[in-house]
Amino acid sequence: MLGPAQLLRLLHINRILVRHGLEDIILATHLFRPIGFLRHLLPWNWVPRQYKKLSRGARIRLALEDLGPIFVKFGQVLSTRRDLLPDDIALELARLQDRVPPFPSAQARAIIDKAYGQPLETVFAEFGFEPLASASIAQVHAARLYNGREVVVKVVRPGIQKTIRRDVELLYLIAEMAQRYWKQGRRLRPVEVVAEYEKTIFDELDLVREAANASQLRRNFLNSPVLYVPEIFWAETRREVLVMERIRGVPVGEIGELRRLGVDLKKLSARGVEIFFTQVFRDSFFHADMHPGNIFVDAEDPDDPCYIAVDFGIMGTLSPTDQHYLAENFLAFFQRDYRRVAELHIESGWVPPETRVDEFESAIRTVSEPIFDRPLKDISFGGFLLALFQTARRFNMEVQPQLVLLQKTLLNIEGLGRQLDPDLDLWTTAKPFLETWMQERVGPLSVIKRIAGQIPRWADHTPDLPNLIHGLLRRASLGEVSVQLRKQEMEQLRREWRRASRRSFHAAVGAALIISATVLLGFHVPQSASLWEAPLLSWLLGGIGIGLLIGAWPLDR
């Protein structure tokens, strides 16, 4: 049940929609189509209106901007859902700017004083009450600590949680109506979209969480020549107040200034691609809001430029499985192996298992082949992902939130990179990285590493096995375990048991040889010895080789 404040807000929303001519879209829905003729009776439709010169996407964007910062933020999140929205609307929503008037400095002071439980002068030697920047969730002030370090102080907007809660409840109401009465509502799942937005925006209100994201990303790129992440001052950071090292750089969107400074734009562009693939495939932790407003350039050495990132409220992660399938998808796509792309989507669970591979392969080929008529430097990775998602949607592909964030980030990086260097060949830059990563994942060293990583877990569970077996046998003797197997199934079980026993024996012997040889290799072989000078080294390496051979010996005989 809506309260008076929510009803007034809903009336305000309707007034904004009408002002921008969006009643046409509303009256075209299944629920209102029977009374759609009423649009001709509305007085404001009797005279020409300015909005009729604009596209529907532009009208929606302008309406969201008039509705305020929470709806602007929602539009930004919605713009990433290229798997759901028509292209014209998604592109317009991507233009939404998260710029709102700053709130009074007295309110900022009150929030900071409350967070610290003492006046801000006890924490900061200097504090600039004039904000450096202001957005829908928070605004930023310059300050100086008593140790002389220059910092920026991010302060959450007063009362923002109540405002968000009110508007999110209205969004849920609108989404539920759309899902119930709009023909496309069930497919587009608007309630799920609002739920995803709710989680994202409430996560952004916790600045301690953002600080933790920044610390992790800083640790991943510590001493890196390609990306600098400012230091977090944990002693001064609270849920409503984040204190971070102040950085100075050129906004990456100011291409003219970068050229004036003589920055190597080709190197800068390539480094943007390197940062993206390093975050995704090496760390599985990536900055998911890398639009130009959050990226600066350290141009102190124009021949060796370095990126600087800020604003870590939205981060993305990928599971090892998603990483593997994504890398294989990229490689298979650029090798034009469309059947493999189709198989990967099914194997990963992104599309239903009953999907026919040949039909899916044909659909992917139809989308992909026209792309290869253009030079590789003109092929869009982000466009490829978008085309794949839109094609897979016809085959009931489930929306993967982590892949949506990845697509958004890739589109940002790609657009930024080609703005810096129009001739950027993303494939040439990315292919060696992907191939190296795949080799490391499936090569012998990777197998050894994974076995070594599992040994502590095996050792931890081994003492429990006798008790587990005893408990199972005791329950069986009491009639608590019943097994019904047909003769054919029993014979199959016996064969599998024998194969498993041989596999376990081979794996154990192989692993033992590898581990013992590796340990001896580490402790007993002088670093200067060669294969010919140290027979022990030859024996040890032979032990590793035999271990790998035994571990991989075919068992299907």
95 pLDDT above the threshold of 70: yes
Instruction: Give the pLDDT confidence score for residue 555 in this predicted structure.
Output: 45
Could you tell me which residue, 346 or 147, shows the higher pLDDT? 147
d(CA 46, CA 317): 52
pLDDT band at 290 (very low <50, low <70, confident <90, very high): confident
- Write the single-letter amino acid at 553: W
Could you tell me the two tokens for 22? 């969006």
Amino acid at residue number 468: L
pLDDT over 70 at 196, yes or no: yes
What does DSSP say about strands 306-309 and 227-228: parallel, antiparallel, or unpaired? Answer: parallel
Confidence (pLDDT) at 186: 62
* Dist CA 238 CA 208 (whole Å): 6
The predicted structure's pLDDT at residue 142: 96
Question: Does the predicted model carry a pTM greater than 0.85?
Answer: no
Lowest-confidence range among 142-156, 275-289, 428-442? 428-442
Is the Cα dihedral 95, 97, 98, 100 positive or negative?
A: negative
Least confident of 1-5, 84-88, 385-389, 412-416: 1-5
Q: Is pLDDT above 50 for 282?
A: yes
Q: How far is CA 495 from CA 220, 472, 484, 498, in A?
A: 48, 22, 17, 5
CA pair distance 124, 534, nearest whole angstrom: 64
What pLDDT was estimated at residue 554? 47
Dump pLDDT digits (tens) for 36-47. Answer: 545 555 555 544
Phi/psi at 298 (nearest 5 deg)?
A: -85, 105
Give me the mean pLDDT over the 89-111 stretch.
82
Q: Which of 113-127, 335-349, 371-385 has the lowest mean pLDDT?
A: 371-385
Greatest mean pLDDT range, 5-9, 51-55, 169-173, 244-248: 244-248
Q: What pLDDT score was predicted for residue 460?
A: 65
**Is the predicted pLDDT of residue 431 greater than 50, yes or no?**
yes
Most confident of 91-100, 213-222, 359-368, 380-389: 213-222
pLDDT at 199 over 50: yes
- Give the residue with greater pLDDT, 47 vs 138: 138
**Element of type H or E holding 58:** helix 56-67
Is the pLDDT confidence value at 428 over 90?
A: no
Can you tell me the distance from the alpha carbon of 412 to that of 401, in angstroms, rounded to the nearest whole number? 17
DSSP readout, 66-109?
HH-HHHHHHHHHHHT-TTTS-HHHHHHHTT-----PPPPHHHHH
Residue 522 is predicted with a pLDDT of: 47
Q: What is the pLDDT of residue 425?
A: 73
Residues with catalytic function: 289
CA distance linking residue 522 with residue 520, whole number of Å: 5
Q: What is the pLDDT of residue 406?
A: 76
Helix 338-347 vs helix 320-334: crossing angle, to nearest 10: 170
Q: How far apart are CA 266 and CA 32, in angstroms?
A: 53
3-state secondary structure of 509: helix
Among 124-128, 269-273, 457-461, which stretch is predicted with the lowest mean pLDDT? Answer: 457-461
Exposed (0-12), middle (13-18) or buried (19+): which is 270, by Cβ within 10 Å?
buried
Q: What is the pLDDT of residue 537?
A: 45
pLDDT digits (tens, 9 = 90+) for 343-352: 888 887 778 8
